[in-house]
């Protein structure tokens, strides 16, 4: 029997799901879920558009700091 060319190994067919979760997923607070919202304001995001330039210039030149409390700004 010393001339066999194969081997047999055993393993658990269905791993413990808690073990799998612990190995694959990290509970680091930096990797927690976040809420991301988009506000699409046409042409404002493009630096090639005059209306976008005017909008950002108006914000930069404004002395009204309360403008920046609005979520859309």
What is the residue extent of each domain of the chain? 17-69
Chain-centroid distance, C-alpha 23: 21
What's residue 7's pLDDT?
65
Query: For the stretch 36-54, what's the b/e string if a residue is b when 16 or more beta carbons lie within 10 angstroms of its beta carbon?
Result: eeeeeeeeeeeeeeeebee
What's residue 16's pLDDT?
78
Map tokens 């990797």 to a residue.
31
What's this model's pTM, rounded to 2 decimal places? 0.43
Can you give the pLDDT of all 73 residues of the chain as single tens digits? 567 676 666 666 667 777 777 777 767 777 777 777 878 888 777 777 888 888 888 989 999 999 889 888 8
What's residue 1's pLDDT?
53
CB 67 within 8 A of CB 59: yes
Q: How far apart are the first and last CA of the chain?
A: 79
């Amino acid at each position: 029997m010393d001339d066999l060319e194969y081997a047999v190994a055993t393993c658990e067919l269905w791993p413990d799901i808690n073990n799998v979760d612990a190995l694959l997923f990290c509970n680091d607070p930096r990797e927690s879920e976040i809420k991301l919202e988009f506000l699409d304001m046409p042409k404002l995001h493009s630096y090639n558009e005059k209306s976008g330039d005017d909008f950002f210039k108006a914000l930069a030149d404004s002395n009204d700091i309360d403008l920046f409390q609005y979520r859309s700004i």
